[in-house]
Structure 1
Amino acid sequence: MIIIITLSIIIVFVILLLCVVTTSKAYDYKHTVDPLTKKQHEKK
């Protein structure tokens, strides 16, 4: 029984770590915006 609880806790911590790493990488990503072309600019 104690082995199952220990394994479950380890799995939860691994998933939590992966979530934190993924979120951190997402915030560090630099988004770029394409400039408007004349056709798109004239529509507005």
Structure 2
Amino acid sequence: MSTLTISILVSLVIIIFVIVIFAAAITKGYSYKHTVDRLEDNPYIRTEEKNAETQKE
């Protein structure tokens, strides 16, 4: 086989490998279940009760 043919085959193998890895990453990203924490569980948000306690003091 000539050098050109070998180069083309190697290039095609690399391209197919990149496409497969790209598709796997997208599939894994879409299958991840995103969740949202409740506001009551968030320590960075002050609730109305804490605001009322602060105002009393």
TM-score (norm. length: structure 1): 0.81
Report SS of the residue matched to 2:37. coil
Unaligned runs of 5+ in 2: 49-57
Report percent identity of matched pairs: 34
Report SS of the residue matched to 2:15. helix
Q: How far is the alpha carbon of 1:39 from its aligned partner?
A: 1.8
Question: Which shifted more, 30-39 or 19-28?
Answer: 30-39
Unaligned runs of 5+ in 1: none
Q: What is the root-mean-square deviation in Å for CA atoms of aligned residues?
A: 1.6
Q: Distance in 1 between matches of 2:16 and 2:32?
A: 25
Match of 1:5 in 2: 8
Who wins on radius of gyration, i.e. which is larger? 2
2:25 is the counterpart of 1:22: yes
